[in-house]
A and B are shown apart, each in its own frame.
Chain A
């Protein structure tokens, strides 16, 4: 099976812009979750989707949003970008319940 695919791998944006990141889960996985990784804060949970519904959300401002499509692919959007949004954004997919997470290699976002 192909792994979790995230696009693009690298992105440079300026403050105030918005950005959309994409994640294609492993075939058959219906749960997709998103994480922000920074040197200072480490790995932080953003949100999780299952069958097109957001099931849980981390402590991030409303500028961070996401969605999941019927084929389980997911997108996350960050509006009004700030310098502090520069980070590695990771997506993971899994089967339901307590199955292991399978991570993609992330999208590195740089905000200038």
Chain B
């Protein structure tokens, strides 16, 4: 099974961009890269996902390396409300079974400084 690795923690100043890295060197061609974040006492919240091309939405951008062995979640202007644990997840569509596997990274705790 593919695994992801993320730094345990990162800090950012408010209003500055944040780049959260994720390594997934054993990613397969059918794995989508998803990002979720979890605030204290809440379940994870979807942020963004992609397969090969970079993706943008109102919350963030996802930059995927050309070899797909790493990706970066970009928060363009960090706010105090962005302080959370960010998870990089691979969602694999099994070629033979058609079933999904959900493989979580360790998560990065983002601290935003006022």
Chain A: residues with CB nearer than 8 A to chain B? 4, 33, 35, 42-45, 48, 55-56, 90, 92, 97-98, 100-106
Contacts and interface: CB of A to CB of B under 8 A. Distances in A.
Interface stretch (B9-17, B19-27, B62-70, B94-102): B94-102
A30 to B, nearest CB: 13
Nearest to B45: A103
Given A42-B106, A42-B107, A43-B87, A100 B46 contact: yes
B111 interface: no
Interface residue SS majority, chain A? strand
Contact of A102 (B46, B91, B100, B101): B46
Contact of B43 (A42, A55, A97, A103): A103
Contacts, number: 56
B43 A56 contact: no
Contacts of B42: 105
A43 B104 contact: yes
Q: Which of B32, B87, B99 has the most C-beta atoms of chain A within 10 angstroms of its own C-beta?
A: B99
20 contacts: A33-B100, A33-B102, A35-B104, A42-B107, A43-B104, A44-B104, A45-B101, A45-B102, A48-B100, A48-B102, A55-B99, A56-B101, A90-B43, A100-B34, A100-B49, A101-B46, A101-B102, A103-B45, A104-B43, A106-B43
